[in-house]
């Protein structure tokens, strides 16, 4: 589905959700409680009359609306049965306060007695900016998510959890952001920051992204260096991705810090065997990513072969002089 089609469906669904509903049995308010600002400054307030039959004279029904203290006659909607509308002029943004009043005649004993039914007080907010939804509610670190709304500007920003992240303005109806490097398997609230307001956009569940390595086993002689490559499924977000690498044999390995710069999907580093021969593990961690545990052996060739025979008998085919990795 295209973004424009998605926005159109969101407009329809949100409009239906914000209908104010019926007030009692007779007067049903069909006006949305939130309306988007338009260039004409005209907003249609709508009601339907239900249940006025039997002894009620249909010709006597006169619907009115009282807007901000002023009473106005309503007109019958051409396409609706007992649906009435009033076009309200309202400039700028703000709240329209209104209620409905229906005057009707009740036939009793051959005479008609005039009666009045009133609704409760309603409010409709006219806004120049509205957030409808996120176009996705879960995914891994590094994926792009659209915020669908109305009146969005280039100055708007997104707060993901407690972190403010950069946005890319697509149109007045959509902005996008990249899921930052945060802890996975958690749900985060997403807000749009605009004009000193925080507008709730939805929640987003961060799934674990995959962190891969070019090797699943490292064997080094003392002082030997080997280049290894770490890979991401998606480009690193704006702040990059910090990789935390630890080992249970710290005296046997020398390795620099690893950091993915924004937009990178691969990074390569040199790992060097230390002076002490040992066998252990390399533990690789990053926020929002699945962890890695890579077996590690450090020592001269004779030491490495001896350690491998002891700890990994099924990994190799051995002969008198050589070792071949399966």
For residue range 312-321, what is the model confidence (pLDDT) as tens digits? 555 545 454 4
Kindly report, residue by residue over 30-88, the tens digit of the pLDDT.
999 989 888 899 999 999 987 665 566 667 788 999 998 899 999 988 876 789 999 99
Alpha helices in the chain (DSSP H): 3-17, 301-311
Decide yes or no: CATH 3.40.190.10 for domain 211-309: no
- For CATH 2.60.40.10, the residue range(s) in the chain are 3-127, 130-207
Q: Which of 90-99, 169-178, 248-257, 294-303 is least confident? A: 294-303
The answer, as to whether pTM is greater than 0.85, is no
Q: What is the pLDDT of residue 29?
A: 94
Q: Per-residue pLDDT for 17 more than 80?
A: no
How far apart, in whole angstroms, are the C-alpha atoms of residue 203 and residue 88? 36
Closest C-alpha among 161, 133, 165 to residue 147: 133
% the chain with pLDDT above 90? 42
Q: Of 3.40.50.720, 2.60.40.10, 1.10.1040.10, 1.10.150.20, which CATH number belongs to 3-127?
A: 2.60.40.10
In this model, does residue 175 exceed pLDDT 80?
yes
Task: Compare 12 and 191 and report the one with higher pLDDT.
Answer: 191
pLDDT confidence band for 171 (50 / 70 / 90): very high
Q: Band of the pLDDT at 197, cuts 50, 70, 90?
A: confident
Burial class (CB in 10 A: 0-12, 13-18, 19+), 6: middle
Q: What is the pLDDT of residue 184?
A: 92
CB 325 within 8 A of CB 314: no
- pLDDT at residue number 99: 95
246-250 mean pLDDT: 89
* pLDDT of residue 15 exceeding 80: no
Confidence label for 202 from pLDDT (cuts 50, 70 and 90): very high
- Which tokens in the block code for residue 105? 């005649």
Mean residue pLDDT of the chain comes to 83
Of residues 108 and 123, which shows the higher confidence score?
Answer: 123
- Which is more confident, 187 or 312? 187
Q: Which of 256, 255, 295 is nearest to 279 (CA)?
A: 295
pLDDT, greater one: 314 or 253:
253
**Residue partners of 124: CB distance under 8 A and separation at least 6:** 31, 32, 33, 34, 35, 43, 45, 95, 96, 98
Q: For position 321, what pLDDT does the model report?
A: 47
- 130-207, what's its fold? Immunoglobulin-like (2.60.40)
């Amino acid at each position: 589905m295209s973004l424009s089609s998605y926005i159109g469906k969101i407009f329809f669904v949100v409009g239906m959700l914000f209908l104010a509903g019926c007030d009692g049995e007779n007067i049903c308010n069909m006006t949305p409680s939130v309306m988007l600002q338009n260039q004409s400054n005209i907003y249609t307030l709508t009601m339907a009359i239900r249940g006025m039959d039997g002894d009620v004279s249909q010709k006597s029904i006169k619907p009115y609306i009282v807007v901000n203290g002023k009473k106005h006659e309503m007109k019958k909607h051409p396409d609706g049965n007992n649906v009435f509308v009033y076009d309200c002029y309202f400039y700028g943004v703000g709240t329209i306060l209104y209620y409905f009043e229906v005057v009707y005649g009740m036939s009793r004993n051959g005479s008609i007695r005039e009666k009045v039914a009133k609704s409760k007080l309603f409010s409709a907010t006219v806004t120049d900016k509205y957030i409808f939804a996120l176009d996705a509610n879960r995914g891994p670190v590094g994926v792009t998510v659209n915020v669908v709304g109305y009146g969005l500007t280039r100055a708007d920003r997104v707060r993901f959890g407690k972190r403010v992240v950069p946005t890319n303005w697509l149109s007045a109806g959509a902005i996008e952001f990249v899921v930052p490097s945060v802890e996975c398997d958690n749900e985060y609230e997403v807000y749009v920051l605009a004009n000193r307001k925080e507008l709730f956009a939805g929640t987003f569940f961060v799934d674990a992204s995959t962190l891969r390595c070019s090797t699943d086993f490292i064997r080094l002689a003392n002082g030997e260096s080997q280049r290894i490559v770490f890979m991401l499924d998606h480009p690193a977000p704006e702040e990059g991705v910090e990789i935390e690498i630890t080992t249970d044999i710290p005296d046997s390995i020398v390795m620099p810090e690893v950091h993915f710069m924004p937009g990178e999907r691969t990074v390569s580093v040199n790992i060097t065997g230390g002076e002490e021969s040992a066998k252990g593990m390399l533990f690789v961690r990053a926020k929002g990513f699945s962890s890695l545990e890579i077996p590690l052996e450090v020592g001269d060739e004779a030491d490495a072969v001896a350690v491998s025979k002891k700890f990994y008998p099924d990994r190799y085919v051995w002969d008198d002089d050589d070792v071949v990795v399966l």
